[in-house]
Amino acid sequence: MHDVAAVAEKGSMRGRVEMYNANALKIGLFGANCSSARTATLVPERWSASWPDCLKLARLADEAGVDFLLPIGRWKGYGGDSDFHGTTLETLTWASGLLAATERITVFGTVHAPLFHPLIAAKEMVTADQIGGGRFGLNLVAGWNEGEFQMFGVAQREHEERYQFAQEWIDVIKRAWSGEEFDFDGRYFKLAGVRANPGPVGGTRPVIMNAGQSGTGQAFAMRNCDAFFTSTSGARLAAAGTSQAMDQAKVFELIVKQVNDIKAAGRKFGREIEVYTQGQVICRPTQKEAEDYYHYTNVENADWGAIDRMLALKNITPQNTAADVFAGKRSMMASHGVGGYPFVGTPDKVAEEFADLGRAGFRGLAVSFVNYLNDVPYFCAEVLPRLTRVGLRAMN
Ligand SMILES: Cc1cc2nc3c(=O)[nH]c(=O)nc-3n(C[C@H](O)[C@H](O)[C@H](O)COP(=O)(O)O)c2cc1C
């Protein structure tokens, strides 16, 4: 159990990383700024991402002791019958509004480095941080979706260079936040006489998170970030092999290894990196109810058009992929909430799986729901107290 007293000070770096509470396993809501959130489904109750719904959700989550809200940086829908992610709220303005309306919860902005001038982004983030009294966090993304960049008339750089650019970008941001006056003579930015006041609350800086999956992306996170956001889909795919029934023990063995490898890589850069992952929660009083609803939302009513578009963006098509492999990837994306860990079951089962991931070394889980306002109250009432009982959460 973590020490609350040591993390209480608003704006301190330790306090920011701890999200000002003693919860050993941090829990956040992922993707609420995007329509349908993380489930490419056609069910009528799918998430709207409207501002009134986001505001209601943030207040409810703040009150219930949820640790953070993590938006998705998305500019253009993926198509399909629902135009998955076709309606989105911009994350820095979204975070600012929600920080003004809440008391305790940390709210991230997810920023595409190539789309924002770093001095504008630094100022917007400081403004959000001032509004929230030191509760703003940055999720930095280098970008991967070509169509989104074309929409801005911005050319997507080749992969290695994306992270060279992101390095300069974050260097400028950190210097702007430090309060010093500086010139910057880089390959991408040539800035003269920069002054940016105020700085972030407490004279520190917001927590920085990144979700690069490649070796270069991961090395970038190790050099620059406090937290690394990773996906468990590789471990789940590897454990599934060709069989339909996934061996849970094997999944956890692979996940433990994955987390340990990331932490070991962080130590090579002199960092104790915090590792997070994401998933989709469908929690119901009985296992059958949970599984039935999961089947209804993620299989029977999957938005296959959107799923195929997302796979095509990752260069996975029926033309270049063997039919059985393509079918497996398609079904994985639909049934596992766009690549997240599927927590489907009773409160006991969901809590047990959260606890297992906490014990595997994850510092936090960012989860999504088909409709947050329908589903989060039950999750908070039933799952959070179970995690408190096993020592992974403090009393709210
Ligand atoms: C959990 C998670 C969340 C992500 N969130 C976003 C996002 O909000 N916006 C975005 O454009 N990319 C997002 N990404 C994509 C990553 O930023 C990154 O581009 C991708 O994982 C590919 O890694 P690479 O750049 O190292 O090749 C996310 C990835 C993961 C695993």
- In terms of C-beta density within 10 A (0-12 exposed, 13-18 middle, 19 or more buried), how is residue 220 classed? buried
Q: Which residues contact 151 (CB under 8 A, 6 or more apart)?
A: 75, 76
* Ligand 1 touching residue 298 (CB < 6 A): no
Is it true that the peptide bond before 71 is cis, omega within 30 degrees of 0?
Answer: no
Quick one: tokens of 378? 């039950």
- The span from the CA of 314 to the CA of 309, in Å, is 9
What's the confidence (pLDDT) of residue 143? 83
Give the residue from 274, 331, 344, 258 showing the smallest Cα distance to 299.
331
Mutate to test the pocket of ligand 1, among 140, 144, 280 (most ligand atoms within 8 A of CB): 144
Site to substitute for ligand 1 among 213, 233, 333, 357, most atoms within 8 A of C-beta: 213
Distance (Å) from CA 195 to ligand 1 centroid: 31
Minimum-distance ligand 1 atom for the alpha carbon of 216: 26
What are the 10-residue block averages of pLDDT along the chain, 396 residues in total? 59 94 97 96 98 98 98 95 97 98 98 97 98 98 85 91 97 97 98 97 97 91 94 73 64 89 91 94 98 95 94 90 88 74 95 95 96 98 98 88
d(CA 48, ligand 1 centre) in Å: 22
Closest residue CA from atom 9 of ligand 1: 73
Question: What is the spatial distance between Cα 257 and Cα 260, in angstroms, rounded to a whole number?
Answer: 5
> Which tokens sit at 10?
């608003």
List the one residue out of 328, 318, 346, 298 whose CA is nearest residue 233.
328
Yes or no: say if 60 and 379 are a contact pair by the CB < 8 Å rule.
Answer: no
Cα 144 from Cα 276, distance rounded (Å): 20
